[in-house]
Amino acid sequence: MESFWQIREFSKIIGKHHNTVDGWFKQLEERRIHYINRAGHEKVYDELDLQIAQYIYEWREKGWSLEGIFGQLPEHFELRPFPSGYDLPPQLQTPQFDVIKNQLVSEMRSAFEEVAAAQLKELERMFEQWHQPPAETAPLPLYPPGQELRKQRLADVITRKRIEIQLEQTALRLWSEQAGLRTDAQGRLIPQGGEP
């Protein structure tokens, strides 16, 4: 007699959190590699799914990427085909989400760069005003060290702003890499391996 499980019992057998196991099988369906049986609207996992999950678990523990493991599955298992006329549920159709995410990240990056550039220009303009000699000869100030102190403070503010801008750009780049994005020639964010 064949056994069937729902995700929570199924993931306990494998020894991984149910969100992790569910994520593996969602990706298999998104990539149209393997179909998960359903009873009504609920996914049910059988012996074949258990063997696949154990295979994924074993190779993930050895440090393999999901891409590499998914590429090996057809060589080791008779994967379940998708029913004719099957279309992914709307919540699994991610291209719209990716497009929105990329647009949002691109707009955020543009806004950060515009604000940073405007602030840097203003600070440089103020710095230049401090360093320009007065047009007329004015009497020497009573406290020249104070003016020098102000110039130094302004130079420190400009330096701090430049560092902040570099840190923001580095953080945005690192965040983009962690989110699986890269920039194209125009500076727009696109998914890794995706076409612009």
Contacts of 59 (CB under 8 A, 6+ apart): 68, 69, 72
> Is the four-CA dihedral 6, 8, 12, 18 of positive or negative sign?
positive
**pTM of whole model > 0.85?**
no
Position 149 scores a pLDDT of 77
**Which residues are within 8 A (CB) of 189 and not within 5 positions of it... i.e. 6 or more apart?**
102, 105, 106, 109, 176, 181, 182, 183
Quote the Cα angle for 84-89-93, to 5°.
Answer: 110
Q: How many CA atoms lie within 13 A of 60 on its CB side?
A: 15
Strands 181-183 and 42-43: unpaired
Q: Which of 179, 176, 158 is nearest to 116 (CA)?
A: 158
Tell me the C-alpha distance between 167 and 161, whole Å: 10
Give the largest CA-CA distance in the chain.
102
Whether residue 20 contacts residue 12, with contact meaning beta carbons closer than 8 Å, is answered with: no
Separation between Cα atoms, residue 12 and residue 18, nearest integer Å:
8
Sole residue written with tokens 């056994």? 3
- Please give the chain's pLDDT, 196 residues, in tens: 678 899 999 999 999 999 999 999 999 988 889 999 988 888 999 999 999 999 999 999 999 999 999 999 999 999 988 887 766 555 554 556 676 777 788 788 888 888 888 888 888 888 888 777 666 665 655 555 667 778 888 889 999 999 999 898 888 878 877 777 766 777 676 776 655 5
Q: Which residue, among 169, 183, 69, has the nearest Cα to 194 in the 3D structure?
A: 183
User: Any residues with CB less than 8 A from the CB of 104 and at least 6 apart, and which?
Assistant: none
Which residue carries 């125009």 as its tokens? 186
Give residue 108's pLDDT: 85
* Token pair of 7 as six digits: 């995700």
What is the structure's pLDDT at 55? 95
Amino acid at 93: Q
Structure-token match 């500076």, residue found: 187
